[in-house]
């Protein structure tokens, strides 16, 4: 494991942790203004397409998101370069938010705020699986080693299953998938630019 965290990943980690500490001090105030609220409920603002990703719903939520950002973010930043990496992460966050808004509008679910960096993290997970497909990763539960491509595939299928069936309510499964879709489009674009430069 590489503990040399490059600067953009460091900034994301510090920003997320800093905002979480601010949440602890301010209570629900940040959630009201900066979480992602459904369209048409009077609380939605366009800035929330990004700001929701810096808020978290508890210690376990931020721990697992930041752990994944630490594990995968540095590798992808070193591969992409800081500027493209931040653009990639940002697109994943926004496409995750758009997916969540679309699902909320389609299902006419009761309004509730969406928070968390998971959309960006799932985008990073997808990139890791595509660029390092044979790198072996170990799950925490259960501790089974598997190649990155398989882990990413299983996560994607699981999120789709849980989203469609509603078996794990309270988690924005389609936002996770939206982050992966945004990441996939960005990777296709990056690879396309690489081919045109030859």
Answer yes or no: is pLDDT of 3 > 70: no
Domain 7-196 has CATH 1.20.1540.10: yes
pLDDT band with cut points at 50, 70 and 90 for residue 198? very low
Residue whose tokens read 């996939």: 184
86-100, 157-171, 181-195, range with greatest mean pLDDT: 86-100
Residue in 152, 14, 19, 21 with CA at minimum distance from that of residue 70:
14
Nearest to 185 by CA among 70, 100, 96, 78: 96
Of residues 58 and 193, which shows the higher confidence score?
A: 58
Which of 126-130, 134-138, 177-181 bottoms out in mean pLDDT, i.e. has the lowest?
134-138
pLDDT tens, position by position, 106-115: 887 777 899 9
Domain extents in the chain: 7-196
pTM over 0.85: yes
């Amino acid at each position: 494991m590489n503990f040399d965290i490059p600067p953009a990943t460091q900034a994301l980690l510090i920003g997320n942790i800093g905002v979480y500490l601010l949440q602890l001090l301010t209570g629900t105030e940040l959630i009201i203004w900066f979480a992602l609220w459904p369209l048409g409920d009077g609380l939605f603002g366009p800035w929330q397409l990004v700001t929701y990703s810096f808020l978290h719903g508890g210690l376990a939520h931020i721990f697992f998101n930041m752990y994944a950002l630490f594990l995968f973010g540095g590798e992808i930043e070193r591969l992409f370069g800081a500027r493209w990496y931040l653009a990639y992460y940002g697109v994943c966050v926004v496409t995750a938010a758009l997916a969540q808004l679309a699902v909320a509008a389609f299902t006419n679910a009761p309004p509730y705020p969406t928070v968390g960096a998971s959309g960006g993290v799932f985008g990073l997970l997808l990139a890791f699986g595509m660029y390092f497909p044979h790198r072996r990763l170990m799950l925490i539960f259960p501790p089974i080693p598997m190649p990155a491509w398989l882990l990413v595939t299983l996560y994607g299928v699981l999120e789709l299953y849980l989203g469609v069936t509603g078996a794990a309510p309270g988690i924005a499964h389609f936002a996770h998938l939206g982050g992966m879709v945004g990441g996939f489009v960005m990777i296709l674009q990056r690879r396309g630019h690489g081919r045109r430069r030859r």
